[in-house]
Amino acid sequence: MKKIKILSFLLAILSVSCSVSSIEDFVVGENFMKDQTGIAMLDTFTLNASTVMFDSIITNSPSRLLIGSNYNRFTGYKSSNAFMEMKFDDDIDYTDFVFDSLCLVMYYDTHYFGDTTVAQTFTVHQLQEEMELNDDNYLYSTSSFAYNNTPLGSITLKPRPTTHKKTNKINIRLDDKLGQRFADMIMNSKRRDTITSQSKFKKFFNGIIIKTQPNIAGATFGIRTSDSGSTDDGTKAEDIETKPEFRLYYHLRPNPDNLKDLYYKFSFYSDGIYFNQISGNNTGSLIEGIEQSDNEKSSTLTENTLIVQSGVQIFSKFKIPYIENLLMLGENTAYIGATLTLYPVKGTYNTVDDLPDSLYVYSANRKNKLSGQITIPGTSDGVYARLTTSSDIEKTVSYIMDVSTFIDNELKSDIQTNLSLMIGYGSTKAKQSADHVMLGAPGSGRYSPKLNVYYYHN
């Protein structure tokens, strides 16, 4: 029979604030009680930590397309290819013209992760089959569709995702034969509906893949999937950063009005199927061979370091093997709450701004299947690990999270649950980035995680 009591009314009071520091503020702050006799804190619990890699994640319909390749010594290389459909997205003003060129134009969306000074090569390939969603209506980071190995075009570049200039776009010259076929269909009234009808065009032209050169220690970066403005709201056409589009350039002959820079537009089809195909190569990294150990590796085998990563999604896992020892503190002891603090390892990020503001905190079963985001006591609000920078001399950087409910449920359970805490990126971030944060694991000295458990006794 359990001897420790759970102070449910105290936990309910804690739910008034969603701040990750609410527990600490409550038990040590002036607003608790003038006489804090009986409030104690334990921070000597054993933590077992490991890295857990997921086989695949849902990546269709992201808010950004992700291309490029980056590297870290913990997990190795991550590379992303982008699959998409296109549609004719223009009015046909002229049907008698001379084809000049066909180009794919894309704009950066400012997101990147990695080294942008490294040049990378990208190729554009035509798909050889129509894309379809799986039976569950999703596509995954491991999904794939057949494409022509001969590229329509290619480019080698050093990405410039943070340069806010309307000329800062990626322009890839595509195959003239394809461009001429498009032009002939526009000019031929009997074949024009193959271009103007999306259902027919999709069968004629299944879409494209923007393929990244793998295993490059460069940067992954985002491509816009929506226009930055519209001429309808007064924005000048030349100032609009667009979603990906084919531009079929042409000229008129004769051209009595001396018209220039004429093109027909085939746009990224935002109502169609598109997804990021994200893969990794962990050869030579700290997690090499993780696939042979059920996609999990103890932090004792990764230099007492942990990682959370998006794209090729990886979580940091924590188990508290002796939490039941709280039950032996005596009959007049009551559990109040708990916080877990994790520390990003200095030298693995450039500035604090490079770190995400928050990470998700999940509960998982013994097979590492996520059972849901843990919640703040007394509420249905999810718990996040919030990035915090202290005001001390060294400006300690940490992620602090309220794990009161998780431990409360563990203490109340009459059986051993084998549940664990999982820290990582949420699904939205995970499917459109390949970022990471490296954290200290138990035994890493100043970066070792801290579990603070607060309880009342008299």
d(CA 88, CA 191): 14
CA atoms within 13 A on the CB side of 286: 21
Amino acid found at 370: L
d(CA 295, CA 315): 11
Residue 258 tokens read as 């001396």
Residue 323 tokens read as 């939490």
Contact (Cβ atoms closer than 8 angstroms) between residue 84 and residue 274? yes
- The pLDDT assigned to 13 comes to 40
Strand locations in 369-449, DSSP E? 370-373, 384-389, 397-402, 420-424, 436-440
Residue among 168, 192, 171, 167 at smallest CA distance from 181: 192
As a whole number of Å, the end-to-end CA separation of the chain is 20
- Which residues, 6+ apart, have CB-to-CB distance to 431 below 8 Å? 57, 58, 59, 60, 62, 141, 276, 310, 311
- The pLDDT assigned to 165 comes to 64
On the 0-12 / 13-18 / 19+ scale of CB atoms within 10 A, 34 is exposed
Q: What is the pTM (predicted TM-score) of this model?
A: 0.89
- The pLDDT assigned to 326 comes to 78
- State how far Cα 310 lies from the chain centre: 4
Contact (Cβ atoms closer than 8 angstroms) between residue 342 and residue 437? no
On the 0-12 / 13-18 / 19+ scale of CB atoms within 10 A, 155 is middle
* Rg value, the chain, Cα: 27
Question: Could you state, in order of their start, the residue ranges of all structural domains in the chain?
Answer: 5-54+295-457, 64-279
On the 0-12 / 13-18 / 19+ scale of CB atoms within 10 A, 411 is middle
- The pLDDT assigned to 5 comes to 52
Residue 221's DSSP bridge partners are 67, 112
Residue 227 tokens read as 């226009």
- State how far Cα 452 lies from the chain centre: 29
Strand locations in 96-224, DSSP E? 98-114, 120-126, 153-157, 169-173, 208-212, 219-224
Residue 29 tokens read as 């702050």
d(CA 249, CA 153): 16
pLDDT tens for the chain, 458 residues: list them.
344 554 544 444 444 344 444 555 544 333 333 345 578 888 888 999 999 999 999 999 999 999 999 999 999 999 999 999 999 999 999 999 999 999 999 999 989 999 999 999 999 999 999 999 999 999 999 999 999 999 999 999 999 998 766 668 999 999 999 999 999 999 999 999 999 999 999 999 999 999 999 999 999 999 999 998 776 777 777 778 899 999 999 999 899 899 999 999 999 999 999 999 999 999 999 999 999 999 999 999 999 999 999 999 999 999 999 888 877 776 777 888 999 999 999 999 999 999 999 999 999 999 999 999 999 998 999 999 999 998 776 789 999 999 999 999 888 877 777 899 999 999 999 999 999 999 999 999 999 999 999 988 77
CA atoms within 13 A on the CB side of 96: 3
- State how far Cα 182 lies from the chain centre: 36
Cis ω before 321 (30° cut-off from 0): no
On the 0-12 / 13-18 / 19+ scale of CB atoms within 10 A, 349 is middle
Residue among 344, 438, 345, 435 at smallest CA distance from 112: 435
The vertex-306 CA angle with 301 and 307, nearest 5°, equals 130
d(CA 120, CA 222): 14
d(CA 142, CA 278): 7
d(CA 27, CA 42): 13
Q: How many residues does the chain have?
A: 458
Contact (Cβ atoms closer than 8 angstroms) between residue 402 and residue 358? no
Task: Name the CATH architecture for the domain at 5-54+295-457.
Answer: Sandwich (2.60)
Please identify which residue in the block is written with the tokens 């295993």: 215
On the 0-12 / 13-18 / 19+ scale of CB atoms within 10 A, 358 is middle
Beta strands 358-364; 420-424: pairing state: antiparallel
